[in-house]
Structure formats: C-alpha cells, structure tokens
C-alpha cells in the first residue's frame, strides 16, 4: 500500500488519499475508530510523522476527528461524497520538509556568522532571548521573539536573500496544516524546554564558535520538530492501547 514514488505531491497527501479509501471499509474502522498511528505506519510502509500529517490533513477536510489521548475517529457527518480534498497549496508544505530545510539553511547561517558576530548584534540577540524567556514565564507562546531571534541571526550574514528565506520558512508555520499540528501538540509548556536550546545558540555565537553554533541551531530545530510531530506519540492521535 506504499504510496507510489512517482506521485509528485507531498507524501502526506498521498497517505491521506490512501487512508480516505481505507476509511470506507467497515472492517478498517471498527466503532468508527482508526487503527493506532503505529499500525497505520506499518501497514502503509511510511513513518509515523508522515501518518500524523496525513491524519491532520483529513481532520482539516472534516473526515476524521483527532481526540488527544484517545485516538482518531471517523466524523459522524463526513464531507459530501465526491467533495474535493484540499490541495497542497491550500494545506501548506509538510512540516517535516519545512523543518528539514530550516536545519540545513539556518544551521549553515549560524556557523558562517559565528566568527564575525559584532558586539552590538550579540547584545541585541541577547535582548531578544530575554524577551522570549519573559514571555514563556508569563504563560505565553513567544512566537514574535522567537521569529525575531532567528531573523536576527540571518541578518548577521548581511545577505537579504537569506533573511527573506528564513522569514518565509518561519512563517510557513501559519499554514493550515502546521497550525493544526501545533494546536494539537504545542503549548506554553513545550516552549519551556527551548530555553536551553536558544541559550546554547546564543552562547556559541558569543564564543564565536562556528561548529557549536551550527550544531546548536540544528539541534534546536530538530527538537522543535520532534516536539510537534515526532514526539508525544504515547498521547498523540491513534494512541496505542496498553
């Protein structure tokens, strides 16, 4: 049942198509509940994060409902037969792809600017980091200072194309797919774990250490992805029964 590699669309859309067909089979959804996420991934021969993105796409379509800690259920009043599924343009890019691109690009930027960071730029970056900490301690999700932190590092490169690229990738978090994923798995408590990650990036830049700066940035972005899409699998959609 693995999606055909020749299909040019993102993998999560291919998986969503397969699941949409399987959902019509009564034996596949006993009592309206889909098999656990792990079982779906094994059946389809894909990763659990890709299955998770596909399930969120189907939820946006109104076909299933994700109940955190319980499972994924077919909606009692699904979309009208023949209703068109959302396109990739409507849903947004895969968060796996977005964060993968950020790891490569922002990791390289952090490593390249580290030896040349100016004191005034580092002072400004530390101020942004402090604002992020204050927001989290106040129980708020610090999207604005987080964005400013990553853009400030890109701006140290003096390359406006890189700045625009980093901004565009960061802002892709506002696509319907990414917003829904983050709505299920991200809250102010998940941001408390980012303090050390951002501080490590800042420290490496202040030390003018390109290797540690690149490693710290890539580690932070990998962990950010895991918190949203690869983590929480014990309580995420399609939770496996004990």
pLDDT tier for residue 187 given thresholds of 50, 70 and 90 = low
Res 10: pLDDT: 84
Q: The domain at 92-230 falls in which architecture?
A: Up-down Bundle (1.20)
Q: How far apart are CA 230 and CA 228, in angstroms?
A: 6
Give first-to-last CA distance, the chain, whole Å.
27
Domain 11-90 matching CATH 1.20.5.510: the answer reads: no
Res 239: pLDDT: 45
Q: How far apart are CA 195 and CA 201, in angstroms?
A: 10
Check: CB of residue 64 under 8 Å from CB of residue 73: yes
- Tell me the pTM: 0.84
**pLDDT mean over 120-126:** 98
Q: CA nearest 153: which of 167, 169, 140?
A: 167
CA quadruple 224, 106, 118, 152: dihedral sign = negative
Domain 11-90 identical in fold to domain 92-230: no
SS3 content of the chain, % helix, strand, coil (to 5): 65, 5, 30
Beta-carbon count within 10 A of 60 CB: 18
The residue extents of the domains of the chain are 11-90, 92-230
For the cut 50, the answer to whether the pLDDT of residue 127 exceeds it is yes
Q: CA nearest 58: which of 76, 42, 72?
A: 72
CA quadruple 181, 187, 189, 190: dihedral sign = positive
């Amino acid at each position: 049942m693995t999606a055909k590699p020749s299909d040019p669309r993102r993998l999560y859309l291919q998986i969503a198509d397969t699941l949409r067909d399987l959902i019509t089979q009564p034996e596949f959804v006993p009592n309206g509940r889909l098999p656990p996420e792990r079982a779906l991934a094994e059946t389809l021969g894909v990763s659990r994060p890709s299955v998770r993105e596909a399930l969120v796409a189907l939820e946006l379509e109104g076909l299933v409902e994700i109940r955190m800690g319980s499972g994924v259920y077919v909606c009692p009043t699904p979309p009208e037969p023949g209703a068109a599924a959302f396109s990739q343009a409507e849903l947004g890019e895969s968060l796996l792809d977005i964060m993968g691109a950020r790891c490569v690009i922002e990791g390289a930027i952090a490593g390249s600017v580290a030896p040349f960071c100016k004191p005034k730029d580092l002072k400004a970056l530390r101020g942004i980091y402090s604002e992020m900490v204050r927001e989290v301690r106040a129980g708020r999700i610090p999207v604005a200072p987080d964005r400013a932190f990553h853009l400030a590092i890109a701006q140290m490169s003096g390359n406006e194309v890189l700045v625009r690229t980093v901004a565009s990738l960061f802002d892709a978090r506002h696509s319907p797919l990414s917003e829904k994923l983050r709505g299920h798995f991200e809250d102010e408590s998940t941001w408390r774990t980012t303090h050390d990650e951002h501080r490590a990036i800042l420290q490496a830049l202040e030390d003018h250490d390109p290797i540690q700066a690149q490693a710290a940035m890539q580690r932070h972005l990998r962990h950010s992805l895991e918190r949203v899409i690869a983590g929480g699998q014990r309580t995420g959609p399609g939770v496996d029964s004990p």
